[in-house]
């Protein structure tokens, strides 16, 4: 039995997704739909809802393979045994693409197991009429605990991983290749029709490099996002939270996970963005210029020309750049975000900023809430430096004065 996830845009712009039996069609599966609608939808973004649905899809696949009907089993209070839970965990961890036996990453697997445990506990509460009975409650919670026990424990030191994250940045080779590309965006381009898409792709990369914004925020920038320099003030980009944007034609809508904000860009990049916006983008026959249109659009001839770049389109553009420009092999959007924070830390060190000032400015530019765990993580190096100084002073107290070594 095949299962599929279908996504839709409602009249007010909300994105919703539902799980279907591909053979049956017509109506979405009852319990997964009820769970998303009543438990997940009110507190989760559409992207998170799709992650839940991927988990529910895997659960349904496992039920079919094992010839198990979870709702019927749980209604009879026949809870999953340890062997069945092991089998379910293995199915949750399978990689969709690749060689047989390949598994997904630890982080994704742990998320899948946690989401599956939550859904199965909800399903038990939904189908069992008397969940308040002590034996029933104990059975539900025991099953829930065993499923959660399948979460893979992280190996290695948490502090070591955090320290690596705080110092992650572009290699010198990639930094040099990016710099060359920014200075000569049309390098290697021979066909005039490829110049517009190339300048757009370079501009998108430079947005990520100069501002550290997320990919979803980049793809959500509207036509009026660029605030040009004037009256002594430099150019900026305006990032807005736009969940369920009714003017966004993309079913899988890229969204800003962080707070709305205004971030500065260099004068050189302002000129490049203006060139893209007012020349190459403007020449597309079906492109829009209103405040509700998007800055980065598809240039390919066809029905999607002038429409906002999708996440798939961005990934494809980045892949093509990596193939045609030597030195960009390691590049991915989040690495640019880490690199921005690394360069910010270096700047703060050079300027001698206090811990709190650095944290507040970083949070503002990244769109993080006050006292964000991420900003504290990146600032942690200051505490480590002070600890090293004080620790060395204490260690030096044990050194005997000169002349008293007998």
Distance set, CA 354 to CA 168, 345, 372, 376 (Å): 22, 12, 17, 13
Tokens of 8: 């839709």
Tell me which residue has tokens 């099953």.
143
User: What percent of the chain is predicted at pLDDT more than 70?
Assistant: 89
Does residue 369 surpass a pLDDT of 70? yes
Q: What is the pLDDT of residue 262?
A: 93
Q: What is the pLDDT of residue 12?
A: 78
Q: What is the pLDDT of residue 44?
A: 83
Does residue 405 surpass a pLDDT of 70? no
Does residue 296 surpass a pLDDT of 70? yes
Tell me which residue has tokens 């659960």.
59
Alpha helix locations (H) across 305-372? 311-324, 333-351, 355-366
Instruction: Tell me the average pLDDT across 324-345.
Output: 91
Q: Is residue 83 helix, strand or coil?
A: helix
Q: What is the pLDDT of residue 165?
A: 61
Q: Band of the pLDDT at 334, cuts 50, 70, 90?
A: confident
Say which range, 36-45, 157-166, 186-195, 197-206, has the weakest mean pLDDT: 157-166
Q: What is the pLDDT of residue 114?
A: 94
Q: What is the pLDDT of residue 382?
A: 61
Give yes or no for a contact between 71 and 127, defined as CB atoms under 8 angstroms apart.
yes
Name the range with the highest mean pLDDT among 6-15, 174-183, 339-348.
174-183
Alpha helix locations (H) across 128-235? 134-148, 158-166, 172-183, 195-211, 215-219
Q: What is the pLDDT of residue 11?
A: 78
Q: Is residue 191 helix, strand or coil?
A: coil
Return d(Cα 242, Cα 110) in angstroms, integer.
29
Ramachandran region of residue 130, left (φ > 0), alpha (ψ -120 to 50) or beta?
A: beta
Say which range, 19-28, 81-90, 316-325, has the weakest mean pLDDT: 19-28
Return d(Cα 84, Cα 106) in angstroms, integer.
21
Q: How much is the mean pLDDT over the chain?
A: 87
Q: What is the pLDDT of residue 101?
A: 78
Tell me which residue has tokens 């369920």.
244
Q: Band of the pLDDT at 163, cuts 50, 70, 90?
A: low
Distance set, CA 151 to CA 3, 54, 148, 334 (Å): 25, 17, 6, 25
* Crossing angle between the packed helical segments 195-211 and 311-324, to the nearest 10 degrees: 100
| Higher pLDDT, residue 374 or 338 | 338
Strands 15-21 and 3-9: antiparallel
129 contact partners, CB below 8 Å, separation of at least 6: none
Tell me 152's DSSP state.
P
| Higher pLDDT, residue 210 or 26 | 210
Return d(Cα 43, Cα 105) in angstroms, integer.
25
End-to-end CA distance of the chain: 84
Say which range, 91-95, 118-122, 384-388, has the weakest mean pLDDT: 384-388
Return d(Cα 404, Cα 406) in angstroms, integer.
6
Instruction: Tell me the average pLDDT across 91-116.
Output: 88
Instruction: Tell me the average pLDDT across 275-299.
Output: 93
Does residue 179 surpass a pLDDT of 60? yes
- The domain segmentation of the chain, as residue ranges, is 3-148, 156-168+344-406, 172-329
| Higher pLDDT, residue 58 or 9 | 58
Distance set, CA 59 to CA 35, 63, 148 (Å): 13, 6, 15
Does residue 82 surpass a pLDDT of 80? yes
Does residue 243 surpass a pLDDT of 80? no
Q: What is the pLDDT of residue 391?
A: 79
Q: What is the pLDDT of residue 102?
A: 84
Name the residue among 118, 109, 313, 92 with its Cα closest to residue 201. 313
**β-sheet bridge partners, residue 19:** 5
Say which range, 120-124, 174-178, 258-262, has the weakest mean pLDDT: 258-262
Give the tens place of pLDDT for each residue, 204-241: 999 999 999 999 899 999 999 999 999 889 999 999 87
Torsion angle in degrees (nearest 10) through CA of 291, 296, 300, 301? 10
Q: Band of the pLDDT at 166, cuts 50, 70, 90?
A: low
The sign one gets for the Cα dihedral 72, 77, 78, 82 is positive
- What are the backbone angles phi and psi of residue 239, rounded to the nearest 5°? -105, 130
Distance set, CA 188 to CA 40, 173, 180, 196, 319 (Å): 48, 19, 12, 14, 16
Q: What is the pLDDT of residue 256?
A: 63
Give the tens place of pLDDT for each residue, 108-148: 999 999 999 999 999 999 999 877 788 898 999 999 999 99
CATH architecture of 172-329: Orthogonal Bundle (1.10)
Give yes or no for a contact between 295 and 225, defined as CB atoms under 8 angstroms apart.
yes
Give yes or no for a contact between 277 and 295, defined as CB atoms under 8 angstroms apart.
yes
Q: What is the pLDDT of residue 328?
A: 93
Return d(Cα 80, Cα 123) in angstroms, integer.
13
Q: What is the pLDDT of residue 365?
A: 94
Return d(Cα 131, Cα 77) in angstroms, integer.
10
């Amino acid at each position: 039995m095949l299962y599929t996830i279908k996504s839709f845009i409602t009249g007010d712009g909300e994105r919703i997704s539902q799980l279907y039996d591909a053979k049956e069609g017509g109506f979405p599966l009852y319990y997964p739909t009820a769970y998303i609608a009543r438990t997940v939808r009110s507190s989760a973004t559409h992207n998170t809802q799709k992650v839940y649905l991927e988990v529910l899809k895997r659960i349904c696949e496992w039920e079919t393979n094992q010839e198990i009907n979870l709702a019927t089993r749980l209604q009879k209070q026949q809870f999953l045994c340890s062997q069945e839970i092991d089998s379910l965990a293995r199915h949750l961890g399978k990689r969709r693409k690749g060689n047989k036996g390949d598994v997904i990453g630890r982080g994704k697997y742990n998320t899948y197991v946690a989401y599956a445990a939550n859904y199965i506990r909800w399903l038990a509460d939904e189908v069992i009429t008397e969940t308040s009975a002590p034996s029933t409650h104990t059975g539900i919670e025991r099953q829930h605990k065993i499923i959660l026990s399948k979460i893979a424990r992280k190996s290695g030191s948490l502090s070591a991983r955090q320290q690596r994250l705080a110092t992650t940045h572009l290699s010198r080779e990639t930094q040099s290749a990016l710099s060359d590309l920014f200075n000569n965006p049309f390098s290697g381009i021979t066909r005039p029709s490829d110049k517009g898409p190339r300048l757009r792709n370079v501009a998108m990369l430079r947005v990520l490099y100069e501002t550290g914004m997320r990919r979803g925020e980049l793809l959500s920038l509207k036509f009026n996002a660029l605030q040009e320099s004037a009256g002594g003030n430099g150019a900026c980009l305006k990032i807005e939270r736009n969940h369920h944007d009714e003017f966004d034609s993309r079913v899988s809508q890229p969204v800003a996970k962080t707070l709305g904000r205004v971030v500065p860009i260099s004068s050189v990049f302002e000129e490049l963005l203006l060139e893209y916006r007012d020349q190459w983008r403007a020449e597309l026959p079906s492109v829009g210029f209103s405040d509700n249109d998007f800055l980065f659009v598809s240039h390919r001839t066809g029905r999607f020309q002038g429409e906002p770049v999708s996440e798939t389109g961005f990934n494809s553009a980045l892949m093509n750049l990596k193939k045609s420009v030597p030195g960009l092999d390691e590049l991915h959007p989040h690495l640019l975000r880490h690199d921005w924070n690394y360069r910010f830390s270096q700047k703060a060190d050079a300027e001698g900023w206090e811990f709190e000032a650095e944290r507040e400015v970083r949070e503002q530019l990244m769109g993080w809430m006050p006292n964000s765990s991420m900003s504290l993580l990146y600032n942690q190096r200051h505490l480590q430096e002070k600890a090293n100084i004080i620790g060395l002073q204490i260690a030096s107290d044990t050194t005997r004065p000169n002349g008293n070594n007998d």
